[in-house]
Every structure is written in C-alpha cells, then in structure tokens.
Amino acid sequence: MPVRPATFSDIPPILIFLQATYLRTHYAKSGLAEIDVAETKRLLVNSIQRHGNSHGGATWVMIAEKNGQIEGILLGTLARVYSIFDRLMATDLLWVTSKEADPRDAIALMKSMVEWAKGCPHVIEIHCGATGIIADDPTVATRILAHLGFKQYGLISRMELERA
C-alpha cells in the first residue's frame, strides 16, 4: 500500500492511532507512562512543518492508511551523528503499524525514510531501533530492516526504574 506525507489534518487521527497502539506497549501494561497528548500534538505540528528538509532537525513524517484509517506512521529526524560530529544521521522517533496493517506498510514507511535520507547531502548513516512495536517480537522489525540493507549495530538495552 502506498504511503504519503502526513498533513496537519492528519493529527487527530494520528493521535487516535497512537492511543490504540499504545495499548500494545509495556508502558500501557505496566502503567509506567501515558501518551502526553499536548506534547504529541506539538511534536507532530513541528515535524510536519519541517518534513522533507535536509538540515539538522529536519523531519520525515509519513503515514500508511487504508480506507481513511491510519494503519502506520513513521516519524524520522536528522541529527548530528552522536550529537558531536559534523555530519548527520537519520533516525526514527516513531515507527509503528497497527496489527491490522498490511505487512508491507512497515517496509514502505521505512523505505520512504531511507530514500529521503539518501537524498540529504550531509547524511552519512541511518540508525533505527527494533522493539516490539512493529510486531510483538522485535526480530520482525529487525528482518524488515535487514531486507532494506541495514546491518545490526549493537543492541538496545533498557532498565525500568521504580517510581512512586
């Protein structure tokens, strides 16, 4: 299914989509964190405004939809490599599809970001993490990334902190 750039009018359905996909996360299951709607709106507005540019802080916001329903989103950004180098990397902030999405949606979303990054003259690499958001098993996202030419580069580790 084709993907397209997100628009400002997509923000309300994106929020509905993110709230639904949030329910699949360990954050929802544990109650550790909730979606901050105001912050999410701010992020989407700023990202849609900077979509497609090629400087540090530029963004790429694409959605997959079926019958007017959002089935996936990718929000990528350009940042200095490890924050200190003179070149840029592209990285995903959000890359998620619904359980009902066509499996090719996740591929199309990431492929669009890869093509954008390749067209940005100062970008030298793309970093993407694989968690249980695309599927319950992170290896699904890892296989998608490998299919697109990514190579495993380290591991992601997390530590959950107990908060009252």
Question: Domain residues for 98?
Answer: 3-147
Q: In what order do the strands lie in the sheet with 69-80?
A: 3-5, 59-66, 69-80, 88-97, 123-127
- Cα–Cα distance measured from residue 71 to residue 6, given in angstroms and rounded to the nearest whole number: 12
For residues 48 and 8, is the Cβ–Cβ distance under 8 A? Answer: yes
Residue 22: give its domain's CATH number.
3.40.630.30
- Cα–Cα distance measured from residue 81 to residue 146, given in angstroms and rounded to the nearest whole number: 21
164 in any annotated domain: no
pLDDT for 101 beyond 70: yes
3-state secondary structure of 57: coil
* Count of domains for the chain: 1
139 in any annotated domain: yes
CA dihedral of residues 120, 123, 124, 129 (deg, nearest 10)? -110
Query: Tell me, what's the pLDDT at 35?
Result: 94
pLDDT in tens, 48-70: 999 999 999 999 999 999 998 99
Average pLDDT over residues 120-144: 81
8 in any annotated domain: yes
Query: Tell me, what's the pLDDT at 153?
Result: 85
Instruction: Give phi and psi for 34, each to the nearest 5.
Output: -125, 160
Average pLDDT over residues 143-149: 88
56 in any annotated domain: yes
138 in any annotated domain: yes
102 in any annotated domain: yes
Computed over every residue of the chain, the mean pLDDT equals 91
